[in-house]
């Protein structure tokens, strides 16, 4: 099952009025982003992709730095894609990942106002 990436609407400013809790849908979307970053391996993977001079990285180049097998790295990357933190492009047998712009900033903005 392919899940759509998380999108957080910050066009209206903060998620809720002062002293008012956010709605369940917004809380769910924010939790998905922050949960994806709740694992040190995924934080490291995202950091590597963001700092790549090419602006993207192949899954084949992500396995050695984190010391995990390709299937395990692919699982971590799937969670980052589902959270909207990276995009995935299939090229032959390899997947390439690019960072998205704004998802993490939008999540922080929605939470902090």
Write the pLDDT tens digit of every residue in 6-33.
555 555 454 555 557 788 988 898 999 9
The SS3 of residue 6 is coil
59-96 per-position pLDDT tens digit: 999 999 999 999 999 999 999 999 999 999 999 999 99
pTM (predicted TM-score) = 0.79
Q: Residue 110's pLDDT is what?
A: 84
Q: Indicate if the pLDDT at residue 51 is higher than 90.
A: yes
CA distance 54 to 83: 22
């Amino acid at each position: 099952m392919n899940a759509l990436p998380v999108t957080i609407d910050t066009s209206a400013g903060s998620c809720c009025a002062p002293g008012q809790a956010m709605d369940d849908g917004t809380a769910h979307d924010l939790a998905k982003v922050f949960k994806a970053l709740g694992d040190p391996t995924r934080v490291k993977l995202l950091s590597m992709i963001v700092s790549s001079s090419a602006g993207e990285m192949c899954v084949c180049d992500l396995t050695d730095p984190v010391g995990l097998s390709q299937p395990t790295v692919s699982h971590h990357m799937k969670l980052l894609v589902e959270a909207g933190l990276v995009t995935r492009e299939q090229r032959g047998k390899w997947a390439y990942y690019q960072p998205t712009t704004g998802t993490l900033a939008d999540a922080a903005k929605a939470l902090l106002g």
